[in-house]
Amino acid sequence: MKIIRPFLALFLFSFFTVYQTQAQSEAIKEGNLLYVKLGNGMNAVLMPITNASDIEISFYIKAGSIFEIDSLSGISNLLQQILSNKVDRFLQRGSGSISGANTKFKAVSNTERTIFKLTTNSDNLGYCFNLLRDSVFNSTITESELMDAKKAVENKIELARKDKHMLFEARLTKSIYRQDYQKMDVYGDAKDFKNITVSVLVGFFHKYYVPNNTIVTATGNFSFAVVQQQLESAFNSMVKAEFNPETVTKIVDFKPMVYNTQFIVEDSIANPEFHICWQFTGAAANEKASHCAHLLTTMLNDKNNFIQVKAAKMNCRKLVADYQSNNFSGVLRVVVQPDKQNWFNTYSFVVKELTRLDQTLANESMLIAAKVQFKKGYEFLKNTKEYPQQLVKYWVDNDETYFPGLEDSIMDVREIDMKDFVSFYMNRNPYVTGLLINEHDRNELNVDSLFTELNDSVKNYVFTYHQNITDLTTKEDSIQLRNLLQWLRINPDVNMQINGYSDESEFGKTFDDSVMMFIDSMPAFKRTMPEVVKKRYLRPEMMRTMKLVKYFYEQGIAPERLSGTSMKFSSATKQEAIDNAKCTITLNKQRKLPSLYELHYGKKKE
């Protein structure tokens, strides 16, 4: 469903009402929508709603954080702050036909777009177009405006650090996107602001704030002809830029998560709440996979599926799935609010089932039921003012077909498609879990004994020993031991090598019958350590290693995931000798994941 199809004009005329104007704009009516494309490349989607009391006008500009310079972040948001301030000042002055008294204004930046939205009565439509043209597209930017915007954004960043909910969301995003977090952080890093000059901002402005990178939506009680005429009158004078959307719209090379991670944020929330998130593909990155993600979300929210039923029997208060899809990446979030007395068992059950959906929910009967539910929701959405917003959200390059064709695409998803999807994106992909909980419940439920903050910093753990002693003695080491055990349990595809060290000044032989019996009972260790079995003693560095290996094995970690090395050092000082009594660890992931770009397009050519 393209707007510009000159070679199909005569064919389309028999199916659609086509409006041609002297301004060389084109319009196609499909259902209750009118698609307009001005001569300068600006697109518009108009949707009349006869019983609406107001009209809503939104300008979507493809200018978000993922399009910023790698070394500078926050450009798109700073620019939005400056331009929205101009609109606000005009409305607050109240000197024109529209003012703060009769018109609401809102502006926001996200990862992919900057949006300016006005809500007013239908008589003010033309004035709103003119206001956005003059205050947004025809603006000049001054040094003082940039300084004011920087201060405003810095204040927002500071407030976000104190807001528990925003802190929680930021930690989720950082855990999911890791070193790519900057691409997803709309505010940007305040440390970069000193390098964002007026010339940098103007360069970004001139590149992206152009008519052929802008999509307008209008909903409310109006006629197509009037809105089209006012749109042309306000914007036809804007010159089409030398701009190719395809040079901007690309598959952003988001790096995949490597490990399962988890963290805790304390808040005033009444009940503990888990947010379990997987990194998914975006709509533009892989349409077929995104269709599966939409349908899977519907399946998971079906109260009749066995996960929902079992969770309800465990007195789970809430189990809701949400697919937060963009064009370049997406996130599946499952929110679980368990009963306090069964909090960890409920969480463990849900995670276990979410990582084996290809064996359970991904079957033909569940797919059919989910398709029926999705169709109902989609048909309802088509008659609401939110429909054009969703259409624009997935409007990539000059192709607006993704969302209008979503219903039919969902119906085409097969059982094998869904099995392949959940097998790759959920069964084998890492996830991140964030736990929101109040301080009292955290202590009362002894949460940290079963669920503690874990990320790949565990690879930096160092276990320390007294000289000539091979047992751990400090509380810190006990905590690290517990955390490592949890890490290995939530990352079943990670192997661990324990590296034992000692100093040559330590005893040369250490004895422990339980360790010897352990080595003798394990074929792999017995085969590689025949002399140890015969002599019945170990050097201290190897004894330290084997005691840790034995501990993890006895806690249920498979022996093939555990290995050990040892090394003796010669110290120059007494402190060096003390420091040499230690163990470190090395983590190895069995399966490395490709980035989203590599997954769908292959490795980049050098």
Q: pLDDT tens across 210-242, in order?
A: 998 999 999 999 999 999 999 999 998 888 777
Residues 158 and 21 in one domain: yes
Residues 291 and 374 in one domain: yes
Residues 498 and 397 in one domain: no
Q: Is the pLDDT of residue 374 over 50?
A: yes
Residues 463 and 419 in one domain: no
User: What CATH code is carried by the domain that includes residue 493?
Assistant: 3.30.1330.60
From 442, 467, 484, give the residue that closes a domain: 442
Fill in the DSSP letter of residue 333: E
Residue 250 banded pLDDT, cuts 50, 70, 90: low
Q: Which residues contact 544 (CB under 8 A, 6 or more apart)?
A: 463, 465, 470, 500, 501, 502, 566, 581, 582, 583
In a domain, 563, yes or no: yes
In a domain, 51, yes or no: yes
Adjacency order of strands within the sheet including 582-589: 462-464, 582-589, 494-503, 562-569
Q: What is the pLDDT of residue 326?
A: 87
In a domain, 11, yes or no: no
Q: What is the pLDDT of residue 51?
A: 86
Residues 173 and 303 in one domain: no
In a domain, 270, yes or no: yes
Q: Is the pLDDT of residue 98 over 80?
A: yes
User: What CATH code is carried by the domain that includes residue 433?
Assistant: 3.30.830.10
Residue range of the domain that includes 274:
261-442
Residues 438 and 466 in one domain: no
In a domain, 252, yes or no: no
- Greater model confidence, 130 or 249: 130
User: 580 and 503 in contact (C-beta within 8 Å)?
Assistant: yes
Average pLDDT, the chain: 88
In a domain, 294, yes or no: yes
Over pLDDT 90: what percentage of the chain?
Answer: 70
CA separation for the pair 402, 390 (Å, rounded): 10
Residues 357 and 465 in one domain: no
From 414, 442, 470, give the residue that closes a domain: 442
Domains in the chain: how many in total?
3
Residues 210 and 287 in one domain: no
Residues 167 and 295 in one domain: no
CA separation for the pair 218, 23 (Å, rounded): 20
From 442, 477, 496, give the residue that closes a domain: 442
Residue 20 banded pLDDT, cuts 50, 70, 90: very low
In a domain, 596, yes or no: no
Residues 379 and 480 in one domain: no
User: 511 and 499 in contact (C-beta within 8 Å)?
Assistant: no
CA separation for the pair 482, 500 (Å, rounded): 18
Q: Return the residue matching tokens 């050519």.
A: 605
- Range with the poorest average pLDDT among 56-70, 152-166, 248-262: 248-262
Residues 469 and 360 in one domain: no
Residues 315 and 197 in one domain: no
pLDDT digits (tens, 9 = 90+) for 266-312: 999 999 999 999 998 888 888 999 999 999 999 999 999 999 999 99
